[in-house]
Amino acid sequence: MDFMEFAALMHNVGKADAAYEASAEYFPLHEAHSTDFAYEVMLKVKEKDASMPLCNSFAEPSLANVALFAVALHHYSHKTYERTYERYSVGGLAPRCYDYRQANEAWSPRTELGKALRDVALALPGTTRIGTHGRLLEVVVKRMHPKLLYAASAVLGIINECDVEVAKKNRRFST
């Protein structure tokens, strides 16, 4: 459950990137920034606690990989581009705002691992990690493990359902 909540909290972190300061209405490939950030959080937790279920391969059906795939694929932008994955490896995140921190601060994880994920995400001022998104998409093209595919799809469904509800509430109609 903590990993599902972590994925939900991380999926739009990339929108806080300073790179989008001039274009607050549109956040192209923010899911790549979000994926790099989520992965860096996980790596830092793994450095402190070896029990973090982070694998050497993104193709393995681990809880960490399910969360990463949900963040990486939540807008399906990878389907509209050529298969040159460097385009998805925009990398880095220099937060221009801290709105994303409010949700993390309000989160009450159930496990020590969840608490560690929350604490590292709150403490991380940005990331220079690059390429996680592209490496995940390579796994999609090569064929994902069925358990990983089904679990990531389930979490994606939940995130996208929430995104649709939020979009409906925030939609502004011009006449």
- Asked if residue 85 has pLDDT above 50, the reply is no
Residue 108 has a pLDDT of 94
Binned at pLDDT 50, 70 and 90, residue 49 comes out as confident
- Asked if residue 48 has pLDDT above 80, the reply is yes
Structure pTM?
A: 0.83
Binned at pLDDT 50, 70 and 90, residue 115 comes out as very high
Binned at pLDDT 50, 70 and 90, residue 174 comes out as very low
14 near 32, Cβ under 8 Å? yes
Residue 31 has a pLDDT of 86
Choice among 35-39, 68-72, 107-111, 140-144 with the minimum mean pLDDT: 140-144
Residue 84 has a pLDDT of 45
For residue 94, give the 3-state DSSP assignment. Answer: coil
DSSP 79: G
Q: What is the mean pLDDT of residues 130-147?
A: 84
